[in-house]
Structure 1
Amino acid sequence: MNDSQIISCSQLMGKYKNIDFEKTDKVTTSWKKVVSSIHSNRYESEDSERRMPIGERLASNTRVVDLKNGVLLVETDHSGWIQYLKFYQKYILNGLKMYLPDLKISTLAFRIAGTNVSLKDSYEDQLKNEKKKLEEKFNRQEEEINNYYAGKSQKTERKSSELPPEILAKFESIKESMLTNSENK
């Protein structure tokens, strides 16, 4: 076999799935370069020999997952790293625009490892799904409230009809005396 017939597994997958691995590698290496270059502000201690700079820690705890419509989806293993990434987002975007101007990355999106968040769903679809969930929750709560008050009114009706006849007679006499006293004045 000559060299022209031997291709790597990733190239074979790329041809089958139409994945541009060169572009993916560029995004990943650019991400690592930009994020690794972040240095913390002077209030955080990076001076210690044992302590790794914040940029290197961010780069080692994040990975690029997807890029669609100018949104770069980044996965982290802890929500604390997302806070740091948001803090340095403008710096990261500027660095990525320098390394990858043809991709036109305009914003970053984040997810924690193990979640199913993706960029393939459109914003409108996600909004519609959230509205539907909220509407269902609202309807469920409204039904619970109506059931609660319906049960409460049934209890009060039962209580008034469950009074002994002697007490009902006393209430009637008090009611009549009150009405006659107001008429005499």
Structure 2
Amino acid sequence: MADSRIKSVADLLSSFFDKDLAREGQQFSGFGRAWKAIAGARLGEHSHPADIKHGILIVETEHQGWTQLLQLQQDRILEEIQRRFPDLGIRGIAWRLGNEPKVAAVAATPRIQPAAGPIVPAAENEAEKAREEKAEEKRGLPPDMVATFARIRKNINK
């Protein structure tokens, strides 16, 4: 014996949503699946419909170059959309760059390590320090300044 109080999830969800809104969502979903066929396989791979606002379809592209190529086809694309999906009421198309970079492209970017300074033998390095300290003393620098410059040189050479 079935309990008449038990309702399916579909019935519950449909009671929360307006029937017209649900129909529009289904149309947009179908339109999204048809985008590659409308834009063309090559252009459709690098773009997708993001939203429809006030009769304007907003399409996101991966790069400015794809946007330009799609703009060259804009009249044809708009006519095809209006022919296949007249209920969406699309009157124009706006283009924007997508916000999310491709994960594979980011992961594949090599990290550049800063180049290490030239490897100088310790004896040459010590001799260079001694020459610089003597030169600073000849310039008449105070001993605390000479010590400060020595610490700076030491940190640079690390």
State TM-score, norm by structure 1. 0.42
